[in-house]
Structure 1
Amino acid sequence: MSLIELFILAIGLSMDAFAVAICKGLALKSITFKKAGTVGLYFGVFQAGMPLIGYGLGAQFQDKITAFDHWIAFFLLGLIGFNMIKESHNNGCEVSTSQESCENADASLNFRTMSVLAIATSIDALAVGVSFAFLKIDVLPAVLFIRIITFTLSVIGVMIGNIFGLRYKSKAELTGGIILMSIGLKILLDHTNILLVQ
Structure 2
Amino acid sequence: MDVVTIGEWLTLWVMSFALGMDAFSIGLGMGMLRLRMKQIIKIGVVIGLFHMGMPLGGLMLGKQISSHFGGIAAIIGGCLLLLLGFQMIRSSFKPENEPFVTPVGFGLLLFALSASLDSFSVGLSLGIYGAKIVLTIFMFGFMSMLLTWCGLMMGRKVQKWLGSYSEALGGLILLAFGIKLLFPL
* 2:24 corresponds to: 11
Deviations 1:22-54 (A, max 9, x none): 223xxxxxxxxxx53x33211110111122222
Q: 8 Å contact 2:58–2:121 — kept in the other structure? A: yes
* SS, match of residue 91 in structure 2: coil
Q: Which amino acid aligns with 1:46?
A: V
| SS, match of residue 166 in structure 1 | helix
CA distance in 2: counterparts of 1:10 and 1:114, whole angstroms: 13
The answer to whether the 8 Å contact 1:16/1:121 transfers is no
151 and 8 in structure 1: CA distance in 2 versus 1, 3 angstrom threshold? closer
* Partner secondary structure for residue 167 of structure 1: helix
Q: Distance in 1 between matches of 2:93 and 2:109?
A: 18
Give, as a single letter, the amino acid of the residue that structure 2 aligns with 1:166.
S
Instruction: Provide structure 2 residue ranges, at least 5 long, that are not aligned to the other structure.
Output: 1-10, 128-135
- Aligned pair count reads 161
CA gap 1:174/1:163 in 2 versus in 1, 3 angstroms: closer
Q: Distance in 1 between matches of 2:159 and 2:117?
A: 28
Letter of the structure 2 residue corresponding to residue 23 of structure 1: R
CA distance 1:62–1:48, change in 2 (3 Å): same
Query: What amino acid is the match of 1:121?
Result: F
Query: What's 2:85 paired with?
Result: 85
Indicate the residue corresponding to 2:7 in structure 1.
none
Identity, % of aligned positions: 11
Q: How far, CA to CA, are the matches of 1:74 and 1:115 in structure 2?
A: 23
2:24–2:149 Cα contact (<8 Å) kept: no
Unaligned ranges ≥5, structure 1 = 25-34, 95-100, 106-112, 190-198
Q: Does 1:103 align with 2:102?
A: no
Q: Per residue, is there more helix in 1 or in 2?
A: 2
CA contact (8 A) 1:12 1:180 kept: no
Instruction: Please report how far the alpha carbon of residue 131 of structure 1 lies from its aligned counterpart in structure 2 after TM superposition.
Output: 2.3
Aligned residue runs from structure 1 range 54-93, under 5 A? 54-92=54-92
Q: Aligned runs of 1:1-198 on 2, under 5 Å? A: 5-6=18-19, 8-15=21-28, 17-19=30-32, 22-24=33-35, 36=37, 38-92=38-92, 103-104=97-98, 116=105, 118-136=108-126, 138-161=136-159, 164-183=162-181, 185-186=183-184
**Do the aligned residues in 1 keep the contact of 2:23 with 2:115 (CA within 8 Å)?**
no
| TM-score relative to the length of structure 2 | 0.64
Question: CA–CA distance in 2 between the matches of 1:62 and 1:184?
Answer: 23
Matching residue's letter, 1:62:
G
Pair 121,68 (structure 1): closer, same or farther in 2 beyond 3 Å = closer
The Cα RMSD (Å) is 3.5
